[in-house]
Amino acid sequence: MATVVRVDPPVSTRVGDKAVVTGDGRLEGWVGGACAEPIVVREALAALAEGRPRLVRITPAELAATAIPVPEPEPGVVAAVSTCPSGGGLEVFVEPVGVASRMLVCGRTPVAATLARLAELVGYEVTGLGDADLDGVRADAAGPGDAVVVASMGHYDEEALVAALRTRAGYVGLVGSRRRAATVFDELRRRGVADADLARVASPAGLDLGPSTQEEIAVAVLAELIRERHRRAVPPAAPEGSGEPQGGAPVGKVQTATDPVCGMAVAVAEASLTAEHAGRTFWFCSEHCRAAFLRDPTGYPDPAG
């Protein structure tokens, strides 16, 4: 959800105007015209990837280029530059809605049961898996912001880890001793699992609390997950024009490309505007820039250069 919270005329939007940005980069609603929309989409996708809200402060290019010092953005604030000729600015609050990290917990043990209960309390969407469920685990069952914890405690550990490594989970943990993990890893190598995949596995899963009960192990695993989730959170994008590379560079966890016409960094998303030329794909902030490029593709600098 994107909400306009401040405007600096002339702009085509008002405080309180809203839009919804979907995961494929579509925007429904109104937060300004073609100059503001690609910035809002880009930062909304980054907020979705991080699971954190952000205030997007859009400044006109001519102001950013003057000698007037622009304050450094505070934590949670993103500074962006608009190439719109109108010269107005605005601030948009972007907030992920209905986004919860997923956790797959493999096992029917006290650790698994306690971890599932606690993880739901801190906002995870939890799915418990037994041995009969493992063959159905697909690659999209968990993404980079999600976790898979194998807490089967010696029952089908190898099968559970094979299923976990099929996913794109950012965290894969095996509950058990180092000796047990070494045995499991040796068996998986015999089954053809690559060392690079095994390197994704955190084992023993959880913070080291010393001798612990099953329930305390679950607390230690959840504490490690929370710590890793905070570590993976990417700081807000650098202001445009600050010397940071934009062409093909990530903003947060969102891939971007440089519009060859206006130079704006736009999100590489399913709904983004594109054109093909000389065997390459180019990305655009608006139909206006795309049409200008198609009229004379050779008249613009190569954004990759």
What are the pLDDT digits (tens) for 43-99?
Answer: 999 888 777 899 999 988 766 555 455 555 677 898 888 777 777 889 999 998 866
Say which CATH architecture domain 102-232 belongs to: 3-Layer(aba) Sandwich (3.40)
Q: pLDDT category, 300, cuts 50, 70, 90?
A: confident
Model confidence at 16: pLDDT above 90: yes
How far apart are the C-alpha atoms of 162 and 193, rounded to whole Å?
A: 8
Q: pLDDT category, 134, cuts 50, 70, 90?
A: very high
Question: Where along the chain do its domains lie?
Answer: 2-97+234-299, 102-232
Q: pLDDT category, 301, cuts 50, 70, 90?
A: confident
Give the tokens for residue 37: 């929309």
Q: What DSSP character marks residue 243?
A: S
Q: pLDDT category, 23, cuts 50, 70, 90?
A: confident
pLDDT for res 245: 33
Q: pLDDT category, 253, cuts 50, 70, 90?
A: low
Higher pLDDT, 235 or 60: 60
Q: pLDDT category, 247, cuts 50, 70, 90?
A: very low
What is the four-CA torsion angle of 29, 32, 33, 36, rounded to 10 degrees? -110
Global pTM reads 0.55
Which of 77-86, 143-152, 220-229, 245-254 bottoms out in mean pLDDT, i.e. has the lowest? 245-254
Mean pLDDT of the chain: 85
Model confidence at 240: pLDDT above 50: no
Give the tokens for residue 62: 């001519």
Distance of CA 6 to the CA centre of its chain: 26
pLDDT for res 235: 43
State how far the alpha carbon of 165 is from the alpha carbons of 158, 197, 231, 244, in Å: 11, 7, 21, 34
Q: What is the per-residue pLDDT across 180-225, written as a single tens digit (0 to 9) for each?
A: 999 999 999 999 999 999 999 999 999 998 889 999 999 999 999 9
* 113: amino acid identity, one letter: A
Q: What DSSP character marks residue 286?
A: S
pLDDT for res 150: 97
How far apart are the C-alpha atoms of 89 and 62, rounded to whole Å?
A: 11
Which of 129-133, 180-184, 260-264 bottoms out in mean pLDDT, i.e. has the lowest? 260-264
Top-confidence range, 9-18, 79-88, 184-193, 236-245: 184-193
Model confidence at 233: pLDDT above 60: no
Helix H or strand E segment including 98 = none
